[in-house]
Amino acid sequence: MTKTVHGHEVLHFMLEHAEGFSKESLKQAIETRFGADARFYTCSAEGMTAEQLIDFLSKKEKFVDVGGGFNTQADKICNHHH
> 11-45: per-residue pLDDT in tens?
999 999 878 999 999 999 999 999 999 999 998 99
Q: What is the pTM of this model?
A: 0.85
pLDDT at 80: 59
E strands in 1-82: 4-6, 39-41, 64-66, 69-71
Cβ proximity of 15 and 72 under 8 Å: yes
User: Could you tell me how many residues make up the chain?
Assistant: 82
User: Can you tell me whether residue 70 is helix, strand or coil?
Assistant: strand
Whether the predicted pLDDT of 2 surpasses 90: no
Instruction: Report in angstroms the alpha-carbon separations of 55 from 1, 8, 61.
Output: 24, 14, 10
CATH ID of 4-76, from 1.10.10, 1.10.3860, 3.40.50, 3.30.1370: 1.10.10
